[in-house]
Amino acid sequence: MPAGTSLRWFQTLPSTNAAALNALNCPEGTVFAADCQESGRGRLGRSWHSPPGRNLYFSLVLYPRLCLSQWGGFSLAAGVGLAEGIAKLGLCPELKWPNDLLIRGRKLSGILLEAKAEKLVVGIGVNVNQREFPDYLVAASLSQVADKIWRRDKLLPHFVEEVFRWCKLWEGGLHQRVLSAWQQYDVLIGNKVTACRGEERIQGRAEAVGGQGELVVIGDNGIRHYFHSGEVTLDKGLRE
């Protein structure tokens, strides 16, 4: 494992995020990984499809020395780290705020940040060697796009290294560096979007991702809206 990290590997866990959140005496940089999750968690209370033997499911423990208002940026930093890791494999990842990682418009990876007291857990699922997905998922795997079987034991430290490095850059105050890296992969900025937060639904143009990780949308009526959480869809669709 990369410097500053260590691995706790399990055959099966309910959720690597839950294990990381609940673990006591667990130093920064500890990675909980499992071959299979029985109740993998996704954003907005959804579940994360986690069959055995094919993909990566892991959670990195951090203790950010930043005020809470800046914790949102770790979601961007983790996305950038993962995107860089995938780009280094020779593929072309795309990032969709807040932290979906897509490839050819399909979801390759999901990131779920959860916090407990001073601990922040960055949970990541990457579709690696899975070739078929349930119909309701618009998903893709590394194996499908590169047409090969990947070594998960090699990919895990590679992704952990990038994600840890970019999270540390954010923690170290290099926010502009993270934001500009994010922009290189962003699929929303400049495009017509619909952003939803609870009952609120705003149509407009995605303008920027701000210094606290928020998405700025200029509504069709010219008013700026700041989304610190929520869901966004590209009006023209992603797969073209």
| Residues at the contact surface with ligand BTN, assessed by CB under 6 A | 15-17, 37, 40-43, 46, 48, 57-59, 100, 110-112, 123-125
CB of residue 58 to ligand BTN, shortest distance in Å: 6
Cα atoms found within 13 Å of the Cα of residue 198, Cβ hemisphere only: 3
Nearer to ligand BTN, 36 or 218 (CB): 36
Nearer to ligand BTN, 28 or 231 (CB): 231
Cβ–Cβ < 8 Å for 125, 55: yes
Question: What is the number of the residue whose Cβ is closest to ligand BTN?
Answer: 110
Distance between start and end Cα atoms, the chain = 38
Nearer to ligand BTN, 143 or 211 (CB): 143
What is d(CA 16, CA 95) in angstroms, rounded to the nearest whole number?
23
Q: Is 194 helix (H, G, I), strand (E, B) or coil?
A: strand
Cβ–Cβ < 8 Å for 122, 163: yes
CB of residue 217 to ligand BTN, shortest distance in Å: 20
CB of residue 148 to ligand BTN, shortest distance in Å: 23
- Strands across the sheet with 56-62, in order? 6-13, 30-37, 56-62, 119-126, 106-116, 100-103, 94-96
CB of residue 138 to ligand BTN, shortest distance in Å: 12
Nearer to ligand BTN, 124 or 181 (CB): 124
CB of residue 218 to ligand BTN, shortest distance in Å: 26
Strands (E), 152-229: 192-197, 200-209, 215-219, 224-227
Nearer to ligand BTN, 64 or 125 (CB): 125
